[in-house]
Amino acid sequence: MSRPIILGIVGDSAAGKTTLTRGIAQVLGPENVTLICTDDYHRYDRTQRAEIGITALHPDCNYLDIMQQHLSLLRTGQPILKPVYSHKTGTFEPPQYIKPNKFVIIEGLLGYSTRAARDAYDVKVYLAPPEPVRAAWKIKRDTQKRGYTPEQVLAELEKREPDSEQYIRPQRQWSDIVVSFYPTKEEENETNGHLNVRLVLRPSIPHPDFTQITDSGNGDSQSAVRLGLDRDMGKPVDVLEVDGHATLEQVTNIEHIMCSDMPYLKNICDREINPELGKIAGTTGETLQSYPLALTQLIITYHMLKATQIYQ
């Protein structure tokens, strides 16, 4: 029996969850994808949170048991009646009937916080940009889209820090892939197009065999594409780094490694078929092409497609 393949995108506020989620939905085909944001499972609206003095990051501020129940239902292909929280008004709207498509992407703050929730995902991604980058992203978004001043956003970040430390960041340990976009030292004010990416590949799911990168001599410390062993939260992992100035040739090389294992991915890698791959809005709204983002989207897509082969 066929069941949906479920991807988790977890990370702190303004870590880039929605941007990555939309990019992957674009690659998989929006008509095949159901998008769910776990902020909808807030227990209190904005006014109640202020009264109680609780942040949205705190487990007690969310119906985590219901979130987990809905994840389990979606995993077996059942519909759910999802609550709806509006970030615009800070209140709840009528619930929404959701029948899962072939792929389900769950993005949110606390998606990996319970065992049963974690068991529902096929692929678990954690977003961990450096904190200064996240602060810059949060200021940009919350001033432009949610009507806050930069000072309010910074105060909010400070208020939330203890909960981020205690409840959000520990979830990194449960992820299969940790994604960190970061600027080079020379471009610390650059927040988008030319960011590098550091991908932690935990051996909790079978990643493509990237050791060829090292073998070909292209993966040394001077190269724009590097593979190396490291520890993440104390456990051994592979780390794949791709710089923003990597060449199309270097990027194509990595894509071939993934495609050899997964012929169907070839179409997705083809930039003529998939002009959206790695596209991102620049600081002034212009569209930029980011190879690090393209490769991040591709490796996640690789695992989503792989899961359809295993389970269906």
**Rounded-to-5 percentages of helix, strand, coil across the chain:** 40, 25, 35
Nearer to its own copies, 65 or 151 (CB): 65
Nearest to 199 by CA among 191, 190, 208: 208
Residue 92's SS3 state is: strand
Closer residue to its own copies, CB minimum distance, 92 or 148? 92
Residue 72 or 308 with smaller CB distance to its own copies = 72
Q: Which is nearer to its own copies, 68 or 223 (CB)?
A: 68
State the sign of the Cα–Cα–Cα–Cα dihedral 49, 175, 102, 70. Answer: negative
List contacts with its own copies (CB under 8 A).
Answer: 41, 43, 45, 63, 65-66, 69, 73, 78-81, 83, 91-95, 97
Give CA–CA dist 230/202, Å, rounded.
Answer: 10
Structure-token pair, residue 175: 């992820």
Of 44, 108, 32, nearest in space to 70 by CA: 108
Burial level of 12, CB count in 10 A (0-12/13-18/19+)?
buried
Structure tokens at 139: 């200021």
CB of 4 to its own copies, least distance (A): 16
- Residues 6+ away with beta carbon under 8 Å from 224: 242, 243, 245, 246, 247, 250
Alpha-carbon span 275 to 263, nearest angstrom: 19
Return the number of other C-beta atoms located less than 10 Å from residue 164's C-beta. 17
Nearer to its own copies, 45 or 161 (CB): 45
Q: What is the closest distance, in whole angstroms, from the C-beta atom of residue 63 to its own copies in the complex?
A: 6
| Shortest distance (Å) from residue 228 CB to its own copies | 45
**CB of residue 259 to its own copies, shortest distance in Å:** 40
Nearest-approach distance from CB 287 to its own copies, in angstroms = 38
The nearer residue to its own copies, 54 or 205, going by C-beta atoms, is 54
Report the candidate in 46, 39, 61 with the shortest Cα–Cα distance to residue 148. Answer: 46
Least distance to its own copies from the beta carbon of 94, Å?
A: 4
Q: Token pair of 196, please?
A: 């590098």
Q: Report in angstroms how near the CB of residue 105 gets to its own copies at its nearest.
A: 21
To its own copies, the closest distance from the beta carbon of 118 in angstroms equals 18
Q: CB of 130 within 8 A of CB of 182?
A: yes
